[in-house]
Amino acid sequence: MAILVTGAAGFIGMHAAHALLARGEEVIGVDSLNDYYDPALKQARLARLQAASGFTFLPIDIANRDAVAGLAARFPTIDRILHLAAQAGVRYSLENPFAYVDSNLVGQVTIMELARRLAARPDGLRGLVYASSSSVYGANRDLPYAVEQATDSPVSFYGATKKAGEILVQSYAHLYGVPATGLRFFTVYGPWGRPDMSPWLFTSAIIEGRPIKVFNNGRMKRDFTYIDDIVAGVLAALDHPPAADDGPPHRVYNLGNHRPVNLLDYIAVIERACQKKAVLDLHPMQPGDVLETYADIDASARDLGFAPTTAIEEGIPRFVDWYKSYFNV
Ligand SMILES: NC(=O)c1ccc[n+]([C@@H]2O[C@H](COP(=O)([O-])OP(=O)(O)OC[C@H]3O[C@@H](n4cnc5c(N)ncnc54)[C@H](O)[C@@H]3O)[C@@H](O)[C@H]2O)c1
């Protein structure tokens, strides 16, 4: 049997696919390899996956209905879907909302349609696991964020599309019994990370002696979650699809580190890893940003055995080491 991983050339997708291949699974990876950030990094991640046996890659845009629908006939052994492809990034959603509509709304539905078709086969679909985001909590003030909280007041368009993705999946779980698990990731970082996120932006600026942009004058907190902890949660979600007991077979979980860190303390950890001081360029709060993220992980611990162990003092140096070797600095 095989698992379809969308966004396989992305940061989390590559790591999750790598872990699945390492435990002997057959992985079919799809990705559009778009240029939201340098496609060379996506190609380098893919090369890592292509070195393992059991990996097949298809350059597909998930907004393309026919291409996604065709996967069911082409790969009849798919019994699970890990759907991570999306237009990510809070700030870019102010500039290019239609990129989010195409990948996160249209693309979400093409994947749900594929899941519905696969679930209708005699041997069914074991589960659809898909990425949501801590951004769905918007400006909620009750911390830590718990999955039961209302999430109908997003403060970014990105967050709105991720919340919409959850609601769309709920309807398919109800109508067609598609077993689905949504994972709300909290600021994921680590080797092979994303160039638009602060670990990368800060590390590159510190190494090159450029100032780093610090929003809200540094008065922010983030629940930074190390990639290996996230991958453990993703695999556990794939291995524990929800049952249709007293409602549609759809669950949503937080995957966060459960230890929010002050932005300035986090910058100090990057400075130590780079062995160089940062030059701070202080800015006011940005539209779409939130002051603090903090995951309540009681439900993911209970149902998925999720237990993140990596503090930023351990994870950030691993990212900086990777960054230096990737760029040969
Ligand atoms: N990294 C985080 O901190 C974080 C936090 C919350 C949620 N998420 C979610 O996790 C998932 C993975 O994020 P990531 O950090 O790995 O991002 P990423 O941008 O590195 O990976 C996403 C991948 O999806 C691909 N993609 C985008 N649109 C596509 C389309 N229409 N068709 C096919 N492929 C497409 C991209 O090329 C990219 O390789 C996303 O759904 C994202 O919204 C990430």
Q: What is the pLDDT of residues 195-218, one digit of tens each?
A: 999 999 999 999 999 999 999 999
Q: What is the pLDDT of residue 246?
A: 80
* 306, two tokens: 């999720």
Q: Is residue 117 part of a domain?
A: yes
* List of residues 6+ apart from 283 with CB closer than 8 A: 213, 214, 215, 216, 217
Q: What is the pLDDT of residue 127?
A: 97
Domain count, the chain: 1
Whether the predicted pLDDT of 55 surpasses 90 = yes
Q: Which of 92, 158, 266, 294 is catalytic?
A: 158
Q: How far is the CA of 119 from the centre of ligand 1 (A)?
A: 24
CATH number for position 116: 3.40.50.720
pTM of the model: 0.98
Q: Is residue 207 part of a domain?
A: no
Q: Is residue 30 part of a domain?
A: yes
Q: How far is the CA of 90 from the centre of ligand 1 (A)?
A: 12
Question: What backbone torsions phi and psi does residue 67 show, to the nearest 5 degrees?
Answer: -65, -40
Q: Is residue 234 part of a domain?
A: yes
Q: How far is the CA of 16 from the centre of ligand 1 (A)?
A: 12
Please confirm, yes or no, whether 176 is among the known catalytic residues: no
Q: Cβ(198) to ligand 1 under 6 A?
A: no
CA angle 64, 66, 72 (to 5 degrees): 115
The whole domain housing 18 covers 2-193+223-258+294-308
Q: Cβ(103) to ligand 1 under 6 A?
A: yes
Q: Cβ(230) to ligand 1 under 6 A?
A: no
Question: 105: closest CA among 75, 130, 139?
Answer: 130
* 51, two tokens: 């070195």
Q: What is the pLDDT of residue 289?
A: 84
Q: Is residue 198 part of a domain?
A: no
Q: Cβ(10) to ligand 1 under 6 A?
A: yes
**pLDDT (mean) for 294-299:** 98
d(CA 18, CA 27): 9
Alpha helices in the chain, H assignment, sequence order:
11-22, 39-50, 65-74, 92-95, 97-100, 107-119, 157-176, 198-208, 227-239, 263-274, 298-304, 312-327
Torsion of CA 286, 198, 132, 120, to 10 degrees: 140
**pLDDT (mean) for 107-133:** 97
- Residue with CA closest to ligand 1 atom 20: 10
* 15, two tokens: 């790591």
Residue type, 222: R
Residue 137: which pLDDT band, with cuts at 50, 70 and 90?
Answer: very high
User: How does the average pLDDT of the chain come out, rounded?
Assistant: 97
Q: Give long-range contacts, CB 8 A cutoff, 24+ apart: 168-172.
A: 168/105, 168/108, 168/109, 168/112, 169/108, 169/112, 169/128, 169/130, 169/250, 170/248, 170/250, 172/112, 172/115, 172/116
Whether the predicted pLDDT of 76 surpasses 90 = yes
Q: Is residue 214 part of a domain?
A: no
